[in-house]
Amino acid sequence: MGTDGRERIAADGSGSTEETSSEERARERIVQLRSIIIRHNELYYNADQPEISDADYDVLANELRRLEAEFPEFITPDSPTQVIGGVGSAQFSAVTHLQPMMSLDNVFDAEELERWWKRNERLLGAEAAGGVRFVCELKIDGLAMSLLYRGGRFERAATRGDGRIGEDVTENVRTIASIPKQMVHSNSDSSRADTPGMLEVRGEVFMPREAFEALNSRRREAGEPIFANPRNSAAGSLRQKDPLITASRELSFLSYQLGATPGGPEFSSHADTLSFLADAGFPVSPEIRVVDSLSEVITFCTHWQHHRNDLPYDIDGAVIKVDSLRLREELGNTAKAPRWAIAMKFPPEERTTLLKAIEVSIGRTGKATPFAVLEPVFVGGSTVSMATLHNEDQVAVKDVREGDTVIVRKAGDVIPEVVGPVLALRPEGLAPWTFPDNCPVCQKPLIRPVGESVHRCTNGDCPAQSLARIAHFGSRGALDIEGLGERTVQTFLDVGLIETVADVYELKNRIDRIGQIEGFGGVSIQNLLAAIEASKTRPLGNLLFGLNIRHVGATIGQTLAKAFGSMDRLANASADEIAATEGVGGVIAASVAEWFAVPENRDTIDRLRAYGLNFEGPAAPSAPQTLTGMAIVVTGSLAGFSRDGAEEAITSRGGKSPRSVSKKTTAVVVGNDPGAAKVTKAEELGIPILDEAAFEALLETGQLPT
């Protein structure tokens, strides 16, 4: 210290004040970061009440590391970057680990991983580093645990604590079923047949996701505060004074490392220690892979980054370890972490951020959906600034309020969600959120019918609904009109070019007016008009989906098109006739019939017909309607029909083809390798059982064999 440029400039008084103040600012920030981090360590390790997500914690820790690297003169021995782990607590007695439990350094992408290994290669020398093998493991998001075995018997369990001294949680850990209380002697390898004198087995205690969900729903029902994530609930469950409570919490354990083994077996590779652990009865993750190149390590990491949600428990990354214990010894450790292992952290799936406001959006059928407006936050691989809150009850259950700090979660491709507020950070006086009385767009009242969870804007002319309806009409899956996105629709609505979906087909007569809108050139207008023209030939199912009929999604649209074969046949059908369609329930049928009964909608249909849209279904029934009113179940494989083909043969003749046998079933067609339950049920109910020949005769004549 004291000899670098910044110091001299400040000391002789000739340096710029800017330079001095940036140094001063760094020092202040370092002091501030340390106290924030120490406080969060305390909340995390001792109180089990973390106020920020792990990822936010990493952001703070990284900022501190960066500043200390830039201004090493400010590093103090008590900085969290210089001490291992968190702090101890008074509830459990202290235990000194035989071998300290180190933490891991983190990398966040393949480049950093490569740099980690380059550094190690330099330390080892190219020859020693060549042909190295890596063990790739999952980084389980739970609590590190050290289990001590003496003479093969489980003796003690301790948390990591500060790495040197942990807490004795033996009685609680004893309740975890997957932890062996007595090691198994392996006979497969005589060198390992003897159970060692003492053995420290390290691994992770965690709560599988299913157990976590079940625990939280029990707690919700009992009016108890819920845990934010499986890691917190595993920590909370381990910290119980009463082991019976821990026992009820369905904790699991996976071992991944040996600590000290005085008097125990010797190994030359990590992979060998893992097989030893597995042979001795310890659970070891089946996903662990031994590979011999860094590119395979990256493949492992990429795979699990994308498949993390296929696992029954949470992971927050992968851990890469050098396999050879001799090379490990050569590489050694830094003050905090081994050089021979590294954690590849995956993008966080949970972050905390500010809930700036709760607003309401109006959908195409008038549904009013509250959503969170968030301070943008990078989570689950993308920046999230909004998240749905679904409905009034969901907001109340989560008790999120404008001004709260909230936990935001985005797992894989799943849409982002607000998990809940961080109550400890709630500013005083925040009022609970209440659903607005009026539509934020047209100001007409929002109605929540009794017994429903959804509010609706009942004003059919609400501009927000018009926008959503027309944008949906042009969307993929519906009429698929490229260029007619939400923003364009909004512009056309604003200038009064269109009001309804049918108006879209008038746009070709309004080219001059479109041309006056900024941003619309000749080419984009021609492309849009061509896309609108092309939309006229879309299948009837797409059109039905595009019409914004409540409860008619893409699948129901296709089902109705297929069943009725034309727009007119559907438009003139009664609710009962529609409900007779396989897969269409009474609520949907009523909604469809009601929609066609509204004069404005009839008018839309007439206009769309006049514009030349396709009103014909994919399979207008051409086969004789021999099976009208019959329900034929097919089970097993038939020689002359695929599964879909048999179904098609039945439905195209006016019959239904349900998947299960009931009192209403007319006949059961039995092919090769049929479902035993279906045949038994048919026999019990006295329903005729047909072979393939009888089925063919039935299709043709509509007669059951006598």
Q: Give the nearer residue to ligand IVH in terms of CB position, either 102 or 446.
A: 102
Based on C-alpha coordinates, what's the Rg of the chain? 33
Q: Name residue, tokens 């009208």.
A: 628
Minimum gap (Å) between residue 299 Cβ and ligand IVH: 18
Residues in the chain: 706
Minimum gap (Å) between residue 287 Cβ and ligand IVH: 10
**Which range, of 5-13, 125-133, 335-343, 398-406, touches ligand IVH by CB under 6 A?**
335-343
Minimum gap (Å) between residue 102 Cβ and ligand IVH: 4
**Which range, of 26-34, 337-345, 572-580, 641-649, touches ligand IVH by CB under 6 A?**
337-345
Q: How far apart are CA 106 and CA 86, in angstroms?
A: 17
Minimum gap (Å) between residue 195 Cβ and ligand IVH: 23
Q: Give the nearer residue to ligand IVH in terms of CB position, either 346 or 433.
A: 346
**Which range, of 53-61, 138-146, 489-497, 679-687, touches ligand IVH by CB under 6 A?**
138-146
Q: In what order do the strands lie in the sheet containing 143-150?
A: 153-159, 143-150, 198-206, 252-258
User: What would the two tokens of residue 485 be?
Assistant: 């996105």
Other C-beta atoms closer than 10 Å to the C-beta of 653 total: 20
Minimum gap (Å) between residue 139 Cβ and ligand IVH: 4
Q: Give the nearer residue to ligand IVH in terms of CB position, either 256 or 276.
A: 256
Tell me the residue nearest to ligand IVH as measured from the CB.
Answer: 144
Minimum gap (Å) between residue 691 Cβ and ligand IVH: 57
Minimum gap (Å) between residue 138 Cβ and ligand IVH: 6
Contact positions with ligand IVH (CB under 6 A) in 77-116: 102-104
Q: Which of 118, 139, 356, 678 is flagged as catalytic?
A: 139
Closest of 612, 509, 614, 616 to residue 561, by C-alpha: 616
Q: Does 500 bind ligand IVH (CB under 6 A)?
A: no
Cα-to-chain-centroid distance, residue 558: 29
- Name 167's bridge partners: 94
The residue within the footprint of ligand IVH, chosen from 15, 338, 483, 636 (CB under 6 A), is 338
Q: How many residues bind ligand IVH (CB under 6 A)?
A: 15
User: What would the two tokens of residue 507 be?
Assistant: 């746009």
**Which range, of 167-175, 274-282, 338-346, 410-418, touches ligand IVH by CB under 6 A?**
338-346
The residue within the footprint of ligand IVH, chosen from 95, 147, 331, 341 (CB under 6 A), is 341
Q: Are 571 and 549 in contact (CB under 8 A)?
A: no
Q: What angle do CA 372, 378, 381 make, to 5 degrees?
A: 115
Q: How far apart are CA 352 and CA 51, in angstroms?
A: 9
Q: How far apart are CA 355 and CA 343, in angstroms?
A: 31
Contact positions with ligand IVH (CB under 6 A) in 375-404: none
CB neighbours of 455 closer than 8 A, spacing ≥ 6?
360, 367, 368, 391, 392, 435, 446, 447, 448
Other C-beta atoms closer than 10 Å to the C-beta of 440 total: 14
Closest of 275, 260, 227 to residue 96, by C-alpha: 260
Q: Name residue, tokens 């198994």.
A: 184
Q: What angle do CA 545, 547, 568 make, to 5 degrees?
A: 90
Q: What CA–CA distances, in Å, run from 416 to 212, 345, 369?
A: 20, 20, 15
The residue within the footprint of ligand IVH, chosen from 140, 238, 593, 670 (CB under 6 A), is 140
Assign 245 to helix, strand or coil: helix
Minimum gap (Å) between residue 140 Cβ and ligand IVH: 4
Does 139 participate in catalysis according to the annotation? yes
**Which range, of 125-133, 135-143, 452-460, 637-645, touches ligand IVH by CB under 6 A?**
135-143
**Which range, of 132-140, 301-309, 480-488, 638-646, touches ligand IVH by CB under 6 A?**
132-140
Concatenating the DSSP letter of every residue in 123-144 gives: HH-HHHHTT--EEEEEEESSEE
Q: Give the nearer residue to ligand IVH in terms of CB position, either 23 or 350.
A: 350
Contact positions with ligand IVH (CB under 6 A) in 421-460: none
Angle between helices 643-651 and 692-701 (to 10 degrees): 30
User: What would the two tokens of residue 339 be?
Assistant: 């050089």
Contact positions with ligand IVH (CB under 6 A) in 145-204: 160, 204
Contact positions with ligand IVH (CB under 6 A) in 265-284: none
The residue within the footprint of ligand IVH, chosen from 116, 117, 253, 256 (CB under 6 A), is 256
Q: Give the nearer residue to ligand IVH in terms of CB position, either 319 or 379.
A: 319
Q: Are 631 and 655 in contact (CB under 8 A)?
A: yes
**Which range, of 137-145, 181-189, 324-332, 516-524, touches ligand IVH by CB under 6 A?**
137-145
Secondary structure string (H, E, C) spanning 606-653: HHHHHHCCCCECCCCCCCCCCCCCCEEEEECECCCCCHHHHHHHHHCC
* Beta strands per DSSP E along 106-239: 106-107, 134-140, 143-150, 153-159, 165-167, 198-206
Binding mask of the shown chain, residues 305 to 324, with x at each position contacting ligand IVH by CB under 6 A: --------------x-----
Other C-beta atoms closer than 10 Å to the C-beta of 191 total: 10
Q: Give the nearer residue to ligand IVH in terms of CB position, either 343 or 563.
A: 343
Q: Give the nearer residue to ligand IVH in terms of CB position, either 280 or 341.
A: 341
Q: Give the nearer residue to ligand IVH in terms of CB position, either 347 or 463.
A: 347
Q: Does 331 bind ligand IVH (CB under 6 A)?
A: no
Pairing mode, strands 667-670 and 689-690: parallel
Q: Does 259 bind ligand IVH (CB under 6 A)?
A: no
Minimum gap (Å) between residue 58 Cβ and ligand IVH: 10
Q: In what order do the strands lie in the sheet containing 106-107?
A: 106-107, 341-345, 315-322, 134-140, 289-291
Q: Give the nearer residue to ligand IVH in terms of CB position, either 55 or 589.
A: 55
Q: Does 299 bind ligand IVH (CB under 6 A)?
A: no
The residue within the footprint of ligand IVH, chosen from 257, 269, 324, 352 (CB under 6 A), is 257
Minimum gap (Å) between residue 410 Cβ and ligand IVH: 22
Minimum gap (Å) between residue 270 Cβ and ligand IVH: 10
Minimum gap (Å) between residue 333 Cβ and ligand IVH: 8
Q: Give the nearer residue to ligand IVH in terms of CB position, either 338 or 347.
A: 338
Q: Give the nearer residue to ligand IVH in terms of CB position, either 327 or 470.
A: 327
- Name 373's bridge partners: 357, 386
Q: Does 144 bind ligand IVH (CB under 6 A)?
A: yes
Cβ burial 594-611 (10 Å sphere, 16+ → b, else e): ebbeeeebeebbebbeeb
The residue within the footprint of ligand IVH, chosen from 343, 395, 470, 471 (CB under 6 A), is 343
Q: Are 370 and 358 in contact (CB under 8 A)?
A: yes
Q: Give the nearer residue to ligand IVH in terms of CB position, either 338 or 674.
A: 338
Q: Give the nearer residue to ligand IVH in terms of CB position, either 143 or 567.
A: 143
Assign 296 to helix, strand or coil: helix
Q: Does 139 bind ligand IVH (CB under 6 A)?
A: yes
List of residues contacting ligand IVH (CB under 6 A): 102-104, 137, 139-140, 144, 160, 204, 256-257, 319, 338, 341, 343
Catalytic positions, written as ranges:
139
